[in-house]
Amino acid sequence: MNGSVLVLLRHGQSVWNLKNVFTGWVDVPLSNQGIREAIEAGRAFDSIPFDVCFTSTLVRAQMTLMLAMSQHRDGKTPVVVHPEEKRSKVYSDKVNILPVHYSSDLNERMYGELQGKNKDEMREQFGPEQVKIWRRSFDVAPPEGESLKMTSERTLPYFDQTIVPCLKRGQNVIVSAHGNSLRSIVMELDGLSPEEVVNLEIPTGVPICYLFQGGKWIKSSVEELQARYRETA
């Protein structure tokens, strides 16, 4: 296939998604439904050969990545790369490894004083329009938290400096992250305005795919990419 593949995957439903609670940087695991979503996502791209993975430092994104890759057909073992940790170094070239890199730059936006609070209760207290602005606007941050603009100011440099070079080398990449860190990336790749990004929703456990070809981003479906790779298998 010409070009390299980028798959963006929001983590499956977390236990606080299920409870309708603002999560942000609070490190909660997947719910049972989220586990199923991660496995189904992995089955959806089980024939796309990946060369490297990126995820956040939060367990719900890491769980999603590992569960998804457990369904893959290529037999590679996802191995988390721990910087400056010599004891985790692999000395054999006989094992088929898929490197996994993590960074807080890919973390969810930090929701500040909303973290741990029920979304419906916040709508009752502050009004649904204010909560929508905190959740979906580009440059308005919740109290003591991050706006999408602030989130993009850490996410996009990491994406441009660390992830894009892999794609330029012809490597296929999967990024398992969060609704707002991925919104900032999709906003950049799709050329969305601050007004348009208000309506951008990133569903849990649904792969978003791009071909990186000739320096351009071409949106594709996971079904199309899966079919192409199965044909060449």
- The vertex-34 CA angle with 28 and 37, nearest 5°, equals 150
pTM: 0.95
Q: What is the per-residue pLDDT for 83?
A: 82
From 11, 72, 146, 178, active-site residue = 11
Residue given tokens 């991925």 in the structure block: 182
* φ and ψ at residue 194, rounded to 5 degrees: -55, -30
Strand pairing partners for 204? Answer: none
Q: How many Cβ atoms are within 10 Å of 176's Cβ, its own excluded?
A: 31
> Is 108 one of the annotated active-site residues of the chain?
yes
Strand (E) or helix (H) holding 93: none
Tens-place pLDDT, residues 111-169: 999 999 999 999 999 999 999 999 989 999 999 999 999 999 999 999 999 999 999 99
Residue given tokens 């204010």 in the structure block: 130
* Cβ neighbourhood burial of 190 (10 Å; 0-12, 13-18, 19+): middle
pLDDT band at 54 (very low <50, low <70, confident <90, very high): very high
From 37, 72, 108, 146, active-site residue = 108
Does the pLDDT value for residue 1 go beyond 70? no
Mean pLDDT of 67-80: 95
The share of the chain scoring above pLDDT 90, in percent, equals 88
* Cβ neighbourhood burial of 214 (10 Å; 0-12, 13-18, 19+): exposed
Q: What is the per-residue pLDDT for 113?
A: 97
Q: What is the per-residue pLDDT for 90?
A: 86
The answer to whether 78 and 69 have CB atoms below 8 angstroms apart is: yes
The answer to whether 124 and 20 have CB atoms below 8 angstroms apart is: no
Angle between helices 59-69 and 32-44 (to 10 degrees): 40
Domains and CATH numbers, the chain: 4-107+149-232 (3.40.50.1240)
> Is 82 one of the annotated active-site residues of the chain?
no
Does the pLDDT value for residue 95 go beyond 70? yes
